[in-house]
Chains A and B, each alone.
Chain A
Amino acid sequence: MADQAAYNDGDEVVAGALYRRIYPSGNYFKPPPENRPTSLNFLPDTGEEYVSMFRAAETTPSEVLEGHEGFGLLEIDAEVLWALGKRVIYQPAYGKGHVGVRGFTKRDEQARRDAAFASRLLIRPTLPQQHA
C-alpha cells in the first residue's frame, strides 16, 4: 500500500499506510491471542484536535521508534481512517512524514475501536509486569 504521492503542508492524505507509536501499557496493546492495539491509541492529546501519525512512504519503523524505548508500532491505512469519517492532514512541520488525523474524540469509542481492529501490529511494545 505504498503511497508515493507528493504532498504539501495542509494537504489531505487520502491513501497509504500510516504509522503510530504504541505506548507500552497493557491497556494500549492486547497480547495474544488478540495481539492488537487498542482504541486508546486513537485518543488525541489534551488541547490537540488530531492524533499524530507518520506516512510509511516517507519514514521507516525504526525512524519512528528512535528514542522511544519500549514503544510498539501500529500501521493503519489512510483509506480506513477516511472511511471512518476522519480527516488525514499532512503536517510535515511536526516531523518527517507527519500527518494529523482529525475527528477522533473520547466519546466516539466505536470509531476508535474500529480503527484499532483495522490496525496492523508491526512491532509489539514491551509491556511492564502487571501487579499480581
Chain B
Amino acid sequence: MVEALRRTFDRIFRSHTAQPQGVVDEIRAFAKLPSGWNSHRAPTPTQTAIKAAIGVVELVARRGGPMPSASPTPSGGVALVWELPALDAQLLVDEDSFDFSVARRGHPKVTDQGSVSEMYEVEKRFIDRYLIVQH
C-alpha cells in the first residue's frame, strides 16, 4: 500500500516537474519509429503531428503548466497525457485535428471531450481550462 502510494506520488510529481526538453526530445524520436511499431500496421507519426505536439508542449511550458508524457498513436499522431491530481487529461494530436478528453482519475466516465483544428482552440478549450487551472 505504501509502495503504491509512493509510486502514485512519484508519477504525479514527475508529471508536474519534468522539463519540456525531455518531452520534446521524446516526441522528436517518434519520427524514427518503423511502420508497424505497435505490432500491427501503425504508421510512423507524421512530421506535421510531431511539430504540432511539440508546439503544444512548448505552449504549456510557456504558460507554466505541467508537462505531459508522450506516446505515438496508431493513427500516425502523438498522444499527450497529463496525470493531474484529480484528472486524466489526454490530447491526441494528428495531421488534421487535436482531440482532447478529460476524465476523473481512476474513473471510467469522460467528463469533457472535443475536437478542434487550431492551436488557439486547444489553448482556450483544453490548456486554459484544465492544465493551467488544475496546476
Contacts and interface: CB of A to CB of B under 8 A. Distances in A.
Contacts of A109: 90, 99, 101, 103, 110, 113
A39 B89 CA distance: 12
A114 B108 contact: yes
B43 A46 contact: yes
Given A47-B41, A48-B41, A113-B110, A131 B71 contact: no
Interface residues of B, number: 40
Contacts of B18: 131-132
Contacts, number: 89
Interface stretch (A7-15, A23-31, A75-83): A23-31
A106 B90 CA distance: 11
Contact of A27 (B14, B37, B76, B79): B79
> Helix, strand, loop or mixed for chain A's interface?
loop
Contact of B74 (A33, A44, A68, A107): A44
29 contacts: A25-B72, A27-B69, A27-B70, A27-B79, A31-B7, A32-B4, A33-B5, A33-B8, A39-B90, A40-B73, A43-B92, A45-B38, A45-B40, A46-B41, A46-B43, A46-B74, A46-B75, A106-B92, A106-B99, A107-B115, A109-B99, A113-B108, A114-B108, A117-B108, A130-B69, A131-B18, A131-B26, A132-B14, A132-B22
Interface of B: 4-5, 7-8, 11, 14, 18, 22-23, 25-26, 37-43, 69-76, 79, 81, 90, 92, 94, 99, 101, 103, 106, 108-110, 113, 115
